[in-house]
Structure 1
């Protein structure tokens, strides 16, 4: 199951920089493309606000 980004996202870009598949898209609140996400968890580990969780 792909990871998801909550409203706690501050759009810092840290998760986008750590995603090995480029599954994270920029925006006011970033989003994760479920088809590209491989459930590695690197984004969740890198997120400074804890806004990313397994969905």
Structure 2
């Protein structure tokens, strides 16, 4: 099992709404969408719409 680190992040309401809309489109939770976007940003691989 992968280890996980829990963090608290404060987001502007507009950013949270945008993340929620992306997550809904991609059928992910907001948390999964954030993890996906961070992985894409940090690895440089193209974004996809497949659930992790």
TM-score range, shorter chain: 0.3 to 0.5
Task: Identify the structure with the greater strand proportion.
Answer: 1
Q: Which structure's relative contact order is higher, taking Cα pairs within 8 Å and 6+ residues apart?
A: 1
TM-score, normalised to structure 2, is 0.34
Structure label with greater radius of gyration: 2
Task: Identify the structure with the greater helix proportion.
Answer: 2
